[in-house]
Amino acid sequence: MQRALALLVLLTAGQVWGMDGQGNASDHFTLGSSLATAGITASTSNSLRPYQSARDDALAYIASAGDIRGARLESALRQYRHDHADADSSDMQVALAIASLR
């Protein structure tokens, strides 16, 4: 549970830092809390696995300013969009959240 709480803090704080002034406070909270919720439930269902396996692709995507889109990142983005259909987070915002996972 302590690990999940740390993940929640990292994701919500990381989104505020990573959005570069884009979006509003609600956007920041929604993305961070969505992936953090997945992290809290991960202890029983391994729901973070698709995101964790996409971390290297997410880092490449971020470093290339969106030019490099690996297959694992694409899969993680599809999963995120499926699980959070009402979220309007950009691919870069989701990639930043994924990159903050350990």
pLDDT per residue as tens digits for the range 29-86? 556 556 655 554 444 446 788 899 999 999 999 999 999 999 999 999 999 999 989 9
Nearest to 58 by CA among 19, 98, 12, 10: 98
Residue 23's pLDDT band, with cuts at 50, 70 and 90, is low
- Write down the domain spans for the chain: 2-99
CA distance 99 to 54: 8
Is there a contact between 12 and 39 (Cβ–Cβ < 8 Å)?
no
Strands, E assignment, 11-75: none
Nearest to 64 by CA among 95, 88, 31: 95
